[in-house]
Amino acid sequence: MFKEFREFAVKGNVLDLATGFIMGAAFTAIVSSLVDHVIMPPIGLVLGNIDFSELFVNLSGTDYATLSAAQEAGAPVIAYGLFINAVIKFVIVAFVLFLLIRQANRFKRKEEAAPAAPPAEQVLLTEIRDLLRQQRGQ
């Protein structure tokens, strides 16, 4: 079993997986910054200076000015603004992955759609076979 694992790890599958994972984490950080710092501020401005990251429902009887104040006090809250941000981030990442997979599938189909021409010997043998059939038919 150790030998099989070593072969698996050395083949490059693990390296490809690790590289993909690291790139995905970096891409997620970029998308998070895009949503938090570029997309949501203009949307909040248009909707009346709303900061989505501060939208929450306080489940305790005490009033808190901000989400962080409520969380520091240990109050139970539903932070639906952070959820909205997370949904937007997910949609962006899912859409980019869809585009990448779609493009990869397009390249695969082009490779599969172009069958290789038969070798010259096979073409010659096919012609000889067809000539022999014609001679028998006469």
77 DSSP 8-state letter: E
| 110, pLDDT greater than 80 | no
Q: Cα separation of 55 and 44, whole Å? A: 11
The whole-number pLDDT of residue 56 equals 93
Tokens of residue 101, six digits = 């997979």
Q: Which percentage of the chain shows pLDDT scores above 90?
A: 20
Give pTM, 2 decimals: 0.60
Backbone angles phi, psi at 56, to 5 degrees: -155, 160
- Output the pLDDT for position 114: 63
pLDDT digits 0-9 by tens, 59-105: 998 999 999 999 999 999 999 999 998 999 999 988 988 888 888 88
Class of CATH domain 2-137: mainly alpha
The domain ranges of the chain are 2-137
Instruction: For residue 61, give the 3-state DSSP assignment.
Output: coil
pLDDT at residue 75, as a whole number: 93
Task: Taking residues 4-26, report their average pLDDT.
Answer: 78
Identify the helix (H) or strand (E) that includes residue 127. helix 120-137
2 in helix, strand or coil?
helix
Residue type, position 98, single letter: F
Number of helices (H) and strands (E), helices first, in the chain?
6, 2
